[in-house]
Amino acid sequence: MQPDFVHALFKGAKDAGLHTTLDTSGFLGYKASDELLENVDLVLLDIKSFNPVTYQKVTGVNLNPTLEFADRLDSMGKDVWIRFVLVPGLTDAESNIDGLASFVSTLGNVAKVEILPFHKMGESKYKELDMEYLLVDTPEPTTEEVERARSIFARYGVKAI
């Protein structure tokens, strides 16, 4: 994240009457000043997993800074959409989804959770870069699996689409 550049860009956009959206994992949220966030209308906050071990495996970093940023955005009353990728065998455990749903239900500023079903559209990019694609054997989630995830969020009163 380049906070000074983002701050100037978003301030200019707001001054021009434009809606601004920050798409982030939240890991570096502590670098976003209150002044920067004042110029943000909406935050798309990606939470890859609520299980700290899985989160570390997927992202290479600790989960806590993302959750702390979510709490900070809540205390500021900043509009947030949570984005969660449903990956069979990785992020689809009921305990993981339940934990995330429970956490999100404590935040008063989250309008919705977007459940993003895993897909293989990026696989070719790995081949082009001569990189190993670790999810080659991972299936896309079924409609029923996505619906099960939505129902877990619904139990907590959280809108999930």
pLDDT at 8 over 80: yes
Q: Flag whether 40 is in a domain.
A: yes
Residue 88 within a domain: yes
Q: Which two tokens mark 68?
A: 């702390």
Asked whether the beta carbons of 39 and 13 are under 8 A apart, the reply is yes
The pLDDT score that the predictor gives to residue 131 is 87
| Residue 161 placed within a domain | no
Average pLDDT for the chain? 94
- pTM over 0.85, yes/no: yes
- In DSSP notation, 74-123 reads HHHT-EEEEEEEE-TTTT--HHHHHHHHHHHHT-TTEEEEEEEE--STTH
In a domain, 57, yes or no: yes
Q: Write down the pLDDT at residue 1.
A: 61
Tell me the CATH number at 102. Answer: 3.20.20.70
Domain assignment of residue 103, given as a range: 3-155
Backbone torsions φ then ψ of 114, nearest 5 degrees: -95, 115
Q: Which residue has the higher pLDDT, 130 or 71?
A: 71
pLDDT higher than threshold 90 for residue 137: no
- Number of compact structural domains in the chain: 1
Is there a domain that residue 160 lies in?
A: no
- Quick check: is 112 in a domain? yes
Q: Domain for residue 108, yes or no?
A: yes
> Is 78 part of any domain?
yes
For 92-130, write each residue's pLDDT tens digit. Answer: 999 999 999 999 999 999 999 999 999 988 888 888 899
